[in-house]
Amino acid sequence: MEYKILGKKNLTPVALKTLTDEERTELCAELRDKILNTVSSNGGHLASNLGVVELTVALLSVFDYTKDKIVFDVGHQSYSYKLLTGRFDEFDTLRKKGGISGFPRISESSYDRFDTGHSSTSISAALGMARARDLRREDNYIVSVVGDGALTGGLAYEAINDAGHSKTRMLIILNDNEMSIDRNVGGLSRYLSKLRISSGYISAKATTESFLRKLGFFGRGLIRIIIAIKDFFRFLIYRKKPSIFEDLGLVYYGPVDGHDTKNLIKALDAVKDIKAPVLLHVLTKKGKGYPHAEQHPSDYHGVGPFDLETGVSLNTKLSYTTAFAGSLCEIAAKNRNVVAISAAMTQGTGLETYSMKFPTRFFDCGIAEEHCVTMAGGLAVSGFIPVVAIYSSFLQRAYDEMISDVCFMNSHVVFAIDRSGFVGSDGHTHHGLLDISYLNSMINMTVLSPRDYKDLRYCLDYAVNRCEGPVAVRYPRGCSPFESAGPLYTDPEECIVPHLSCGSGSDYAIISTGRICSEADKAVELLKEKGFNGIHINLALIKPLPVKELIRMTNGISHVFTLEEGIQSGGFGEAVTRSFSEDKCSCRVYNFAVKDPVVRAASPAEQIKEAGLDAENVASVIAGALGGL
């Protein structure tokens, strides 16, 4: 497609405001085409971005992105915004090393107002910006764009409650993509919605309220009576009670068709100057404009490269996630006390098959990681074995609940921590580089870090059936780097024992854990070519450390190196160093770990190399240390 409008260099806020309705329709088609072609090639978030095209065009036709501030919740629906704010020429680099991010990033553009990547944060951030504006006596607009899914997170309601109580002027756009417009909005309902968001209605409403308030006690009584009558007729027409948002102090308008740019612009123009917190309810359809994504929006939420014509993924390899899912189903079939819990990521964590096989033993709690963990604690003290499957970076939100509601009681909750280590193109907000450190700080916690699929299977079996108390099994995103079908043992009990992975000799020892041990295997071979002979010890159990076994296996070796896919501070390597020191070992211990967790989008292999954890750098550093003897 030739991008006649989108490709213009002068597509400024002023130019956007001057487009005709027909030109905006064409612009939306161009945006969808560009997003589809780029995501099918690079991977990314598709369904959510296709659903907000018209909404984004309307927002930038009403507000001035050079001074007004728009905060996208999660940020995985910001592709149209990026294309319309000066990043059209760079868009083909989306989610690639050195390219633009798949999420808003302050470091990338002055038009990105807040780094996002996690859910339910935008209202809080926008409220902070609105208060800063008021403190400076400025007059720009602050807009939060939040999806209905994000409203399953408690943080969003904390922010709404605060905004409603303080009456701070801001606009919240509720992007509701779970409801069909035609099913929920009949003719009369559509008419009344349009009436309520007209500038004439809003002006008359404000004038009437102002007049009545001047009448004192009598006027305030009339206002209450009018509101009661309005709510009664709303119930007759919509068959629902007044909006919870109004009860929390927001001014509610809608619902509005989120794919009708003309009426969206009218609605935004009508509500933007209300001197109070306003929630505009917008109905959209996930995957709009691409039939495959419209019919199966969950399948096209976050995708890898795919065939644009057929919609079929170009990556059909087994992954750690699918290996976990299959193993859990096998374990649950034999142990009826096993239940599984998801935080609105049933498909992403691989639990979709489990949820169909064991529907009564599966719970999706929504985007509410804290609730998931504490509920799991309640199940555990009642005799069940909950397996809580959550991405590593998302589980950070439940740090307190893990300690207070699980670990202190030594409850048998299994945390299946997906996306540990580097996650690739999602970038630094999604890396699971902190989990070893925060898990190491938790009393009674057992931590397992398998290296490949079979290792993961045995570790999960051990965690569920052989372990007591809280236990975490951390595993990475994507495919195993091991071509052979490890592991180094055949029984779950053996997963807690260190194993010799490869090598012979006493020049050095490498102790590694998780996927990154493939780099250690390669490093041993590279060092052998340089004339250094040592061993590589693979370790799945990293808390509590099997210190005596490690010391026995490294006896007589003066240089020991640890390798992990996590941050150095509080990590696996530091624990090994401290344990060896406390045991008065004479060897020197060096740590290979991530020094700076803010590693931008790239492939996991590129990110590992950037962090200096690749085989070539590991071998070079070890050779340098040994060569200096």
Rounded CA separation 542/544 (Å): 6
What is the edge-to-edge ordering of all strands in the sheet holding 277-283? 69-72, 142-147, 170-176, 277-283, 251-257
**How far lies 228's CA from each of 238, 243, 246, 550, in Å?**
15, 13, 13, 73
Three-state DSSP state, 560: strand
Secondary structure (DSSP) of 412-431:
--EEEEES-B--STT-TTT-
Three-state DSSP state, 473: strand
Rounded CA separation 97/415 (Å): 31
Q: Of the residues 82, 105, 266, 369, which is catalytic?
A: 369
Task: Compute the chain's Rg from CA coordinates.
Answer: 28
The pairing of strands 69-72 and 446-448 is: unpaired
Q: Of the residues 82, 266, 286, 522, which is catalytic?
A: 286
* Residue 286 bears catalytic tag: yes
Q: Of the residues 288, 397, 457, 543, which is catalytic?
A: 397
Rounded CA separation 299/601 (Å): 22
What is the edge-to-edge ordering of all strands in the sheet holding 385-391? 362-364, 338-342, 385-391, 414-418, 471-474, 446-448, 541-543
CB burial readout 193-227, b (16+ within 10 A) else e: bbebbeeeebeeeeeeeeebeeeeeeeeeeeeeee
On whether the CB atoms of residues 592 and 536 are closer than 8 A, the answer is no
Helix axes 187-196, 217-238, angle to 10 degrees: 150
The pairing of strands 170-176 and 277-283 is: parallel
* Residue 369 bears catalytic tag: yes
Closest CA to 574 of 562, 560, 583: 562
Name the burial class of residue 342, with classes exposed (0-12), middle (13-18) and buried (19+) by CB atoms within 10 angstroms of its CB: buried
247's enclosing H/E stretch is helix 244-247
Query: Which residues are known to be catalytic?
Result: 286, 369, 397
